[in-house]
Amino acid sequence: MANQPEMSSNKNVWIIILVASLGYFVDIYDLIIFSIVRVKSFEEIGVSPADMRSEGEFVLNMQMGGLLIGGVIWGIIGDKFGRLKVLFGSILLYSLANISNGFVQDVMTYGIIRFIAGIGLAGELGAGITLVSESMHKSKRGYGTMLVATVGVLGAVLGYFISEQYDWRTAYFVGGGMGLLLLLMRVGALESGLFKTAEEKTVVKGKFSMLFTDKRRFKRYLYCLCIGLPIWFVVGVLVTQAPEIGKALHAPVVLSAGKGVLFTYLGISLGDLLAGLLAQVLKSRKKVVLLCQIIILVSSSWYLLSDGLSETKFIWLSFFMGLGIGYWATFVTISAEQFGTNLRATVATTAPNFVRGALIPSTMLYGVLVNHWGIITAAFMMIFLLSGIAIYALTQLEESFDKDLNYLEEE
């Protein structure tokens, strides 16, 4: 333990894990609530059935654009001023934005507020994973990040049940209110010992351009981004567009995107737990991510080949696809472990948000393919393309399990 200065005590570690887990729980609730209430909210504000898919992509892309920009902002703040400042500032911004979302009356305002919410949502996971990783022994940190993700993604389950019991505006109010309550819990959480040690040194911290000025460092960063590409396409397109995909598959009933998201996130929660445990057993995060890519390809193919898809089968396939993309925490942990303390928060915060933001070009390409090949073939082409890129990128990264994180990146 000597290789990680000022390692937190067991009590403080558990406080940090609890704070990060609950923060990610609220983050996920607020992040996916639009996917759950898209149809209900659009119907109420007057969006026609023919425009549901295109307007939905617009609002989702606005949120993803906010995540993209917010990832850079919060990552720099995390490395320059501390991980805790990100955890406080980001949750305040996205909580207020989600409360505002409960008052929207038109698609443009909806999109603008989701953009602001996206900026806030960008900071939560990366800062939490960085703080947990730097506060735990190198051989045990996988358990900490596993718990953060496993608890966190259950926020999607709450989102579904709230949306079923109450109207969509109340669902946004609940998300914002939970975030404001969580701010009170964060008082007393401790900053990372590694960050405080780096803070005392005269080294450049949080300089985003450093990721692009060195060829080897840039390639390392790019490969980290690429391994997460399939995750948000599964959630943002394959599951969110279940009503449209189900129609193309001649489903006997209109498939519920809300139910799909619920069971996908149950799968992700179990997948994050299993991925974390398996990585500890195999002492390899790369092998786990490769296994997840195989599950993604198998489950997505099964889904897209299911002509006459029943609602029950759709729910189980959503869960199965969720298991496949349940390497989210492992992906962020790999990204954090690839870089030194003075760039770690920048990478761990920007990587997941750039992956989320990559949904924008993915949906644009998907839209072009839909026009030429139809919705099913287009979805097939995209998921095989994205998983193929992820597998290649994975082969280019070094194994980071059990890596000492007490080092800095030189400018």
pLDDT tens digit sequence for 352-388: 888 877 888 998 899 899 999 999 999 999 999 999 9
Helix residue ranges, H only, 45-167: 52-81, 83-101, 107-121, 124-135, 141-152, 155-165
- Quote the CA–CA distance of 346 and 343 in Å, as a whole number: 5
What's the domain count of the chain?
A: 1
What pLDDT digit, counting tens, does each position of 34-89 carry?
A: 888 888 899 999 988 888 878 888 898 899 889 889 988 888 887 787 767 787 88
Q: Identify the pLDDT of residue 389.
A: 97
Q: What is the largest CA-CA distance in the chain?
A: 65
Q: Rounded to a whole number, what is the distance in angstroms from the first to the last CA of the chain?
A: 28
1 inside domain = no
Task: Give pLDDT, residue 203.
Answer: 60
Task: Look up the CATH number of the domain holding residue 79.
Answer: 1.20.1250.20
Q: Is residue 409 part of a domain?
A: no
pLDDT digits (tens, 9 = 90+) for 89-109: 888 899 999 999 999 999 999
In this predicted structure, the answer to whether residue 198 has a pLDDT above a threshold of 50 is no
Would you say residue 83 lies in a domain? Answer: yes
pLDDT of residue 411: 66
Between CA 155 and CA 264 the distance in angstroms is 12
In a domain, 5, yes or no: no
What are residue 174's phi and psi, to 5 degrees? -60, -45
| Secondary structure letter of residue 403 according to DSSP | -
Q: How far is CA 221 from CA 9, 294, 351, in A?
A: 31, 23, 8
pLDDT tens readout for residues 16-37: 788 888 888 888 898 888 888 8
Q: Note whether 330 and 279 are within 8 A (CB).
A: yes
Task: Tell me if 406 is assigned to some domain.
Answer: no
DSSP state at residue 49: G
- Structure-token pair, residue 20: 């990060």
Instruction: Classify residue 106: in a domain, yes or no.
Output: yes
The per-residue pLDDT for 56 is 87
User: What is the domain range of residue 98?
Assistant: 10-187+211-396
The candidate with the shortest Cα–Cα distance to 53, out of 247, 297, 232, is 247
Q: Is residue 242 part of a domain?
A: yes
Query: Does the pLDDT of residue 190 top 60, yes or no?
Result: no
Note the helical H segments in 155-192: 155-165, 168-185
User: Which stretch, 171-185, 286-300, 394-408, has highest mean pLDDT?
Assistant: 286-300
Please calculate the CA angle 394-24-122 and round it to the nearest 5 degrees.
Answer: 70
The answer to whether position 133 is within a domain reads yes
Nearest one of 298, 296, 267 to 389, comparing CA atoms:
296
Three-state secondary structure call for residue 55? helix
Name which residue leads in pLDDT, 174 or 205. 174
